[in-house]
Structures are given as structure tokens and as C-alpha cells.
Structure 1
Amino acid sequence: MKKIVVIMAVLFLFACSSKQTMPDYNKLTRLNFHYTSEKVKMINDVEPLKGVFSEIKWQEGMPKMARKPDVTAVLFIMNDETKTERLYTYEILYNDGGTATVIDEENSLIGSLAKNPTIQLKSAFSCENGCTDAP
């Protein structure tokens, strides 16, 4: 009986300490976003953005934000097992030098995005390839 309790305790500790896996951005189905003072917009053609979000270099820890995010984005990512979408909310701050900082508050992660992917992200958020008002 003690062995069973010890084994269950070890399994529980292992499950609790395992790191959060990042979403599979290839399963991104749509993206909603908004600038601080604007209506929520929706990007349906997310193919170009799948690679952009995969470029984020994540690390644990939450910074104290000195300013509000430039953009808040909600990513809808399909879960193959349940056939439902899981939502990930990222706050994006554009930095001097053309890079971006991405905050994932839910998982206490901060990410950095290089200059070229940031340019692609800004282009998508400018609705150059078309956006609609989110439902």
C-alpha cells in the first residue's frame, strides 16, 4: 500500500512540474486582434502567420510592463483530440529597433520576436491582406 502511495505521489509531482507545451502554430485556424482603442478584427487567412508565431523565443517569467501592449491577439488553435479550438491570448509590444516582445500571461511566459517576423506581424495587423470585424 505504501508503494502505491509513493508511486502516485511521484507521478503527481512529475505531472505538476512538467513544462507547459507550446501550441502547434501549424494548427492555427484564425486570429482575432485589436489595438488598444479599436474594434476587434479577425484574420481568416492565417497561413502566413503560422511561421511567424513559431519564431517566438519563449522564456519563463513575467516582466513588469512599463506600458500597455500595442496589440492584443487571440489565437484559435485546433485540438485534434477534442476537435475544439483552444484560445491563446498574447499581448504584443513593439520595441525600438523593429523587434517585438510577446507576453503570455496565462503561462507566465515572455517571448521575443526578431525584426523580420515582427514586420510580417505588423503587416498582418494592418489588414493589408484583408480583415473583417470579429463576431
Structure 2
Amino acid sequence: MKKIVTSIFILMFMVGCSAQDSGELTRVDVQKGNKQENYEDTLMITDEKTINLLKSSFGEVKWEPNTKPEMSRKEDISATLFYTFDENMPERLYEYRIWFNGNDTATIISNNEKEGYGTLDLDNSRILKNNLLNYHEN
């Protein structure tokens, strides 16, 4: 009986942890940096198709937690992702600073301590660039 109770507890803990990681992305706020070290106006992305593309791309970032990188230039984009984990709780906000590199990859720094510093491959970097940078320009 003790083994069954322990197994159920472990299973519930694992399901609870995975549910936390699978929150619903509901909105993305984007600010584009400019050469004067200022940000332009914030744009809000809420359409479901773009949100799903962005969530998928952010899911492919190769994160290196506990890394303290320093970048030589200001980020190209600052993005705030709004996640809902429980309808009875406020949204959680995760902030990302994104640099688009000359080789069409991206470097990302997150304020989420589980993520930290990350890189994104060519294909997913293009998705971010097209849906964040170009969205901002339209």
C-alpha cells in the first residue's frame, strides 16, 4: 500500500511539473531597439497563428542556465511573453532580449533563471525575425 501511495504522489508531482512548463502563451509585446539606444513603441501580438509560431520557436532555444553573458551591442528586439498557467492566477511574464546574428542565428538572454542565455538555429531564428522584427515594421 505504501508503494502505491508513493507512486501516485510521484506521478502527481511529475504531472504538476510538466503542466507548469506547458503554460498557454497568450500575448507577446515587442520593442525594437534603435541606434540611439532607445526603444520604439511597444507592439502587442495576440493573433493565434503568430503566437503559436513564436511559442514553437522559443521552444527550440538551446538554453545555458547560470551563464552571465555580456553582449557588445544593444539587442535588436526586446520581447515580453505572457503565459497563463492557471485561469485563477495572474499571467507570468518572461522577458527576452534578442540579437539577430550575421549568420542568421539568434542569441537570446532570458530573465527566467531556468533559461538564462540561449542560442537559436537558422530556421527558428528566421521565424522569430520574421514574426518579431518584421511584424514591428508593418
* Common fold by TM > 0.5: yes
Structure with more strand by fraction: 1
Q: How many residues align?
A: 109
TM-score (norm 2): 0.70
Give yes or no for the alignment of 1:114 onto 2:116.
no
- Rate the CA distance shift 1:26–1:80 in 2: closer, same or farther, 3 A: closer
Distance (whole Å) between structure 2 residues aligned to residue 116 and residue 43 of structure 1:
21
Contact 2:23 2:85 in 1 (8 A): no
Cα deviation for residue 77 of structure 1 reads 0.5
How far did residue 48 of structure 1 move?
1.5
2:135 maps to which residue?
A: 127
Tell me, yes or no, if structure 1 residue 48 matches structure 2 residue 50: no
**Structure 2 residue aligned with 1:68:** 74
The answer for the alignment partner of 1:28 in structure 2 is: 25
Structure 1: distance between partners of 2:109 and 2:120: 11
1:58 has 2:73 as partner: no
Report the equivalent of 1:38.
40
TM-score, with structure 1 as normaliser? 0.71
In structure 2, the partner of 1:102 is: 108
Tell me the secondary structure at the aligned position of residue 124 of structure 1. Answer: helix
Q: Deviation per CA, 1:28-75: give whole Å up to 9, x if none.
A: 101001111311001112122111110011002011111110000000
Higher helix share: 2
Which ranges in structure 1 are unaligned for 5 or more consecutive residues?
1-20
Root-mean-square deviation over aligned CA pairs? 2.4
- 1:10-21 aligned at under 5 Å gives the runs none
